[in-house]
Homo-oligomer: A and B are copies of this chain.
Amino acid sequence: MSAAEIISPAHVVEETDIVLVRDSLRVTPLFRDLDDRVIDRLAIISRIVSVTEDFILCRQGEMAASLFIVLEGQLATSAEAANGTSAVVEVIRPGGAIGLPTLLARLPRPISARAISASRLLSIEAQGLLALVAEEITLVTALLRAEAEDFRALVRQVCDLKLRTTAQRLGCYLLSLSPDQTANAVALRLPFDKRLLAARLGCRQENLSRAFAALRALGVETHGARVILHDIARLRDYALPDAPFDGKMA
């Protein structure tokens, strides 16, 4: 286990109760198609860790000691450029995993991950997982599928950055937060602060403010972290979000 992945007891609480671990594995989307026998084998090499806000789970350049899957809370992944600046690559929400491609390929991590709120995670021991992969074909299928979905999410983000304005990207993001895709108005709360939102969207904070101002004419009302979308159909026509991922990649 590398230095940054050593668990500091002040910031981390571990749960190893096998029933709890098994139940958490079972409700993880990544493992939805696995039968109980494979889940039981995974449970033996897994534990649940709870971390405080700002805890660094792993750092770019390290070999992966664990596969992390978010149960509750949120992580921000980031990568550092040669000049020392770093970009937020993605915000990982419950169900998402960190660093699967490099773990499977036994390469160092391309990104760092930090908890942006208190979070609970499944931590699956990397060596044990690689040993299981050699024996359980349904596990390989599940992991390769997750990898392809992560790959596709990055392809979408590249397209998003190349094709959409900041205001359109913000509009797509706000629409993605709307729980009811059929309603025409909704009140939401931003799940993280505007500084991180600007970094995730790839703009400066002043550009994010301008983007919120541009969306006001489309019925987007903001009060701090509270956002009301008054006319979802109009916002959708403007931002043109991608179809949600349904495993069909149409």
Does A82 sit at the interface, judged by CB under 8 A?
Answer: yes
Separation of A57 and B89 alpha carbons in the complex (Å) = 30
- Using Cβ atoms and an 8 Å threshold, which residues of chain B touch A137? 134
Separation of A154 and B240 alpha carbons in the complex (Å) = 23
CB-contact partner of A148 in B86, B105, B134, under 8 A = B105
CB-nearest residue of chain B relative to A109? B249
Nearest CB in chain B: distance from A101 CB, A: 4
CB-nearest residue of chain B relative to A242? B82
The answer on a CB contact under 8 Å between A108 and B249 is yes
Does A151 sit at the interface, judged by CB under 8 A?
Answer: yes
Does A195 sit at the interface, judged by CB under 8 A?
Answer: no
Does A145 sit at the interface, judged by CB under 8 A?
Answer: yes
CB-contact partner of A159 in B87, B108, B151, B163, under 8 A = B87
Total count of chain A residues near the partner, CB < 8 A: 52
Separation of A240 and B243 alpha carbons in the complex (Å) = 36
Separation of A108 and B152 alpha carbons in the complex (Å) = 11
The answer on a CB contact under 8 Å between A107 and B158 is no
CB-contact partner of A101 in B88, B148, B164, under 8 A = B148
CB-contact partner of A151 in B102, B134, B163, B249, under 8 A = B102
- Using Cβ atoms and an 8 Å threshold, which residues of chain B touch A134? 137
Nearest CB in chain B: distance from A135 CB, A: 12
The winner among A151, A161, A241, A248 for most chain B CB atoms within 10 A is A151
Separation of A86 and B158 alpha carbons in the complex (Å) = 11
Please judge, given known A-B contacts A82-B240, A89-B155, A105-B145, whether A162 and B202 are in contact too, CB under 8 Å.
yes
81-107 of chain A: CB within 8 A of chain B: 81-83, 85-89, 101-102, 104-105, 107
Separation of A158 and B79 alpha carbons in the complex (Å) = 9
Does A199 sit at the interface, judged by CB under 8 A?
Answer: yes
Does A157 sit at the interface, judged by CB under 8 A?
Answer: yes
Separation of A77 and B8 alpha carbons in the complex (Å) = 44
Nearest CB in chain B: distance from A102 CB, A: 5
- Using Cβ atoms and an 8 Å threshold, which residues of chain B touch A3? none
Binding site for B on A (CB under 8 A): 60-61, 79, 81-83, 85-89, 101-102, 104-105, 107-111, 134, 137, 141, 144-145, 147-152, 154-164, 199, 202, 240-243, 247-250
